[in-house]
Structure 1
């Protein structure tokens, strides 16, 4: 057994910077969880037309409706077994924005074929995205989203490109500063950049056998469809 990220990347995983290898080895096999704490230099939005969609998504902890600079940030990557018996790793991001903290929740599982990661978004996992992981020549990690699906009850629809978006995440390790650096961009094919953030953080690791999964990290509803 190995982490879901090493499984999906295969030999490409060994090309990542060693610090990234450890960070993405979190899982039930390693017995470790990872918490990153740092600052987002910038949380940005596209045009004003994006705001209503971001505000709607924020009601289910999807995307961040408020832009800002020098925003304290936490990301919690904790492995657990979901109600369908799948190994799951939380990607719960909390942005300490003025007025109130905002969360962007995701839970990642390995696809049934083991060839991609499925990213279930929000408190009720209404949105699911395919994620593809690649090691870059400099040892950084590039994550790109593929197909998005909306699921609620009997409804299971592919999100059309007109209203959907492609997410691109770049994560690296800065040896000079001893920090992870992250850059996220969400772009619509027709309307351009919609949302993103960039900044840095330091990571600490804990034993999941002693810390467990804190209350509020798991979603309200879990989706079984892959």
Structure 2
């Protein structure tokens, strides 16, 4: 049975070109009644030049990016659908990295924006940053996600983040049939200064029934932003 999701809605017929396991993973939503929990290990979490680390630490205060490097880091990603306070179907992308000095989270919540014709990615605990995401199926059935414009919102402030400050994100997710694992590679690159942050590794997926259950409070942002 085919279920609609914010990702299928955005990708249209291109969604059917994804590997079947990716189709299932990105069908999580209110219609399917399923969430997805991925558990695995990141082979590597890396940072760019030293001068970017203060910005990573600043973002880490609101669960944006990860201000630590590491190898073979235990990893959990929780994709849970819910209806936000503005009535929009939303899917959490809460990533927890269990580093030696303690767990670090990288939080995002995603909605479909017909207005912007993209998936809108709100970053962090307070949704201060919003990024446009464009998703395409690659010839091998993997999923390629590229970020577009970034915007910063705080109270009356609503500004576009200049390219020389922001970072272009590229996410590649695939399914390895031999190992039965999803593989992911994330890179964030600044157009002037080069690579800033990234991670790569693999995980298995467990699908959970969310029908009739509220999403855990700690997975939802502290503050929700309506501006697209």
Give me the TM-score of the superposition, normalised by structure 1. 0.98
What does residue range 18-167 of structure 1 map to in structure 2 within 5 Å? 18-113=20-115, 115-167=117-169
The verdict on how the C-alpha distance between 1:202 and 1:65 changes in structure 2, with shifts beyond 3 A counting, is: same
Post-superposition offset of 1:113: 3.1
Post-superposition offset of 1:2: 1.3
Post-superposition offset of 1:210: 5.2
Q: 1:40·1:199 contact (CA, 8 Å) conserved in 2? A: yes
Give me the TM-score of the superposition, normalised by structure 2. 0.97
Residue 209 (structure 2) pairs with residue 216 (structure 1): no
Q: 1:182·1:200 contact (CA, 8 Å) conserved in 2? A: yes
SS in 1 for 2:95: strand
Q: Distance in 2 between matches of 1:3 and 1:129?
A: 19
CA RMSD of aligned residues (A): 1.0
Q: Distance in 1 between matches of 2:85 and 2:213?
A: 20
Q: Distance in 2 between matches of 1:21 and 1:113?
A: 24
Task: Give CA deviations for 1:53-76 in whole Å, capped at 9, x if unaligned.
Answer: 000000000000000000000000
Q: 1:118·1:129 contact (CA, 8 Å) conserved in 2? A: yes
Task: Give CA deviations for 1:168-221 in whole Å, capped at 9, x if unaligned.
Answer: 000000000000000000000000000000000000001102553123000000
Indicate the residue corresponding to 1:190 in structure 2.
192
5+ unaligned residues in a row in structure 1: which ranges? Answer: none
5+ unaligned residues in a row in structure 2: which ranges? Answer: none
